[in-house]
């Protein structure tokens, strides 16, 4: 079969890129090794984790805040089987949606492992060992990533688990150790902490969510400890983990180099993800992956060293996020169609779906200081927001960073209720190079959480916040 584009991998990068190719009139095929489409994000990432975050948040609120709202419930308990079944149903609805979209856009989908015979021939190896050859003018590699394995941490997938298994536990553990205080570890850790598990997070760095603006990690750690009883061992280097019966023992060295030992029912290893560039036969077409991280090198048009072969999403450099992969899918489709698209990598928002949520876009204070940029900072706490008081979500703040002279917004960092949705306003403002004053002068509906962004922008302008 002859195609204009063959996409290998059907995650958010691959399926979105394929749809855009088809919209642009390119004859397109997708090769996916799994039975369902949607990749990590839809099957074992963004979507199932958010489904469990929502369920566990309902339980936590019912158990801890409903009485204050004047709602009394009796005999509250978690039905783990049903919670997981609902999550599976949410995943099924989403993955079925991709099957529908492929049909609607006349995209041919092949089930099997895709690999290069040469730069214009993709071999599809099916589960039964049979093969099929697709010839194509262009290839988009969108094979994503897999959980990073540490040589001294044997993941048995039963007690020492990755995020994938953590989305399918059959019981609420009494105790859990999460190795890694990044986004995935904190989201899954808070799912179980909300259901009643005593969760301890062990983090090598001095702070959790260490790549985000420092104020966010500090506030998140404080709130998760206060509201969910989560414990944090920062500055701890994990040295090993072992399983005996139903007990996991995790060992670590603290900042003084002293050995610490923790025991738990389960241990989630969430120390990052590694590009999945194996088995593609890249050597056959002259592509060498990076030594560290196994990422596929690409130029500014996301084209590899081989003309007509592109790579996008988690398998290349940059933030390992679904929306970054999607934007790159659209970008490459448009490049192949001869257009001149653009991605602003400075404006890819980062979100942590804990409660309170954490969201960020642009430069952090630490980055601005390191670059010697003179900036103004304005903050507004949710405890001064009428909307947040009404919903009892008064933890957190919004911080706006603006250029000292021009007032252009350089970064927005927030932790608080619905921050994941609120960050979109900051992204739009920054895409149009708004000043803090511009945002401060835009009318925001009252009472909404978004007023906190307006107030932080007012604070950054001339310290003019009204409600603090």
Q: Cβ 382 to ligand FAD, closest distance in Å?
A: 22
> Considering the rule CB under 6 A, would residue 12 count as an interface residue with ligand FAD?
yes
Choosing from 3, 5, 7, 13, the residue that interacts with ligand FAD (CB under 6 A) is 13
Q: Is 143 in the site for ligand FAD (CB under 6 A)?
A: yes
Tell me whether residue 41 or residue 250 sits nearer to ligand FAD (CB atom).
41
**What is the residue whose two structure tokens read 């409660």?**
355
Query: In terms of CB distance, is 145 or 363 closer to ligand FAD?
Result: 145
| N-to-C CA span, the chain | 66
Nearest to 250 by CA among 258, 238, 259: 238
Catalytic residue among 58, 64, 301, 446: 446
180 binds ligand FAD per the rule CB under 6 A: no
Residue 136 engages ligand FAD in binding (rule: CB under 6 A)? no
DSSP 296: P
Buried-exposed string 343-374: b where 16+ CB fall within 10 A, e elsewhere: eeeeebbbbbbbbbbbbbbbbbbeebeeeeee
Q: Binding to ligand FAD by residue 413, rule CB under 6 A?
A: no
* CB of 273 vs ligand FAD, minimal distance in Å: 7
Q: Please say if 236 is a catalytic residue.
A: no
- Going through 91-165 in order, the beta strands assigned E by DSSP cover 108-111, 113-118, 121-125, 131-141, 145-147, 160-161
> x/- binding map, residues 339-358, to ligand FAD, per CB under 6 A?
--------------x-----
Among 238, 268, 298, 320, the residue binding ligand FAD under the rule CB under 6 A is 320
Shortest Å, Cβ 329 to ligand FAD: 7
CA dist 10 and 18 (Å) reads: 9
Q: Is 178 in the site for ligand FAD (CB under 6 A)?
A: no
Of 267, 85, 293, nearest in space to 185 by CA: 267
- Report 36-65 residues binding ligand FAD (CB under 6 A): 39-41, 45-46, 49
Spatial CA neighbour of 186 closest among 169, 206, 209: 209
Structure letter (DSSP) for residue 158:
S
Q: Using the CB atoms, write b or e for 184-204: b if 16+ within 10 Å.
A: bbbbbbbbbbbbbbbbbbbbb
* Residue 86 binds ligand FAD (CB under 6 A): no
* Residues labelled as active-site residues: 446
The site for ligand FAD (CB under 6 A) is made up of: 8-14, 31-34, 39-41, 45-46, 49, 113-114, 142-145, 163, 184, 276, 279-280, 313-315, 320-323, 325, 353
């Amino acid at each position: 079969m002859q195609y204009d584009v063959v996409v290998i991998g059907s995650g958010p990068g691959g399926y979105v890129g394929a749809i855009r190719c088809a919209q642009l009139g390119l004859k397109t095929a997708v090769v996916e090794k799994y039975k369902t489409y949607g990749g990590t994000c839809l099957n074992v990432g963004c979507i199932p984790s958010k489904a469990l975050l929502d369920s566990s948040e309902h339980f936590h609120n019912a158990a801890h805040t409903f009485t204050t709202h004047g709602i009394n419930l009796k005999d509250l308990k978690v039905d783990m089987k049903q919670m997981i079944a609902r999550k599976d149903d949410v995943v099924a609805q989403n993955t079925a949606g991709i099957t529908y979209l492929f049909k609607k856009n006349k995209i041919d989908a092949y089930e099997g492992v895709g690999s290069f015979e040469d730069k214009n021939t993709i071999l599809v190896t099916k589960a039964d060992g049979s093969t099929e050859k697709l010839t194509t003018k262009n290839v988009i590699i969108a094979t994503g990533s897999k959980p990073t394995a540490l040589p001294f941490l044997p993941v048995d997938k039963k007690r020492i688990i990755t995020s994938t298994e953590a989305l399918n536990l059959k019981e609420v553990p009494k105790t859990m150790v999460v190795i890694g205080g990044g986004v995935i570890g904190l989201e899954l850790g808070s799912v179980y902490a909300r259901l009643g598990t005593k969760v301890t997070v062990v983090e090598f760095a001095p702070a959790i969510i260490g790549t985000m603006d420092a104020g966010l990690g500090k506030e998140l750690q404080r709130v998760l400890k206060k509201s969910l009883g989560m414990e944090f061992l920062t500055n701890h280097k994990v040295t090993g983990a072992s399983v005996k019966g139903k007990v996991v023992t995790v060992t670590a060295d603290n900042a003084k180099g002293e050995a610490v030992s923790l025991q738990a029912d389960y241990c989630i290893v969430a120390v990052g993800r590694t590009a999945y560039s194996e088995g593609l036969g890249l050597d056959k077409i002259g592509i060498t992956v990076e030594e560290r991280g196994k990422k596929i090198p690409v130029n500014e048009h996301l084209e590899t060293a081989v003309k007509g072969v592109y790579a996008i999403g988690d398998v290349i450099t940059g933030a390992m996020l679904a929306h970054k992969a999607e934007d790159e899918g659209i970008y490459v489709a448009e490049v192949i169609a001869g257009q001149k698209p653009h991605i602003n990598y400075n404006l890819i928002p980062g979100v942590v779906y804990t409660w309170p949520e954490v969201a960020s876009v642009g430069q952090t204070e630490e980055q601005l200081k390191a670059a010697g940029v003179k900036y103004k900072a304005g903050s507004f706490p949710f405890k001064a927001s009428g909307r947040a008081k009404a919903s009892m979500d008064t933890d957190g703040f919004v911080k706006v960073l603006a250029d000292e002279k021009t007032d252009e917004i350089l970064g927005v960092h927030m932790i608080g209720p619905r921050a994941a949705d609120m960050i979109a306003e900051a992204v739009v403002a920054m895409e149009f190079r708004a000043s803090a004053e511009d945002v401060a002068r835009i009318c925001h509906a009252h009472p909404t959480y978004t007023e906190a962004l307006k107030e932080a922008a007012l604070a950054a302008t001339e310290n003019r916040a009204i409600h603090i």
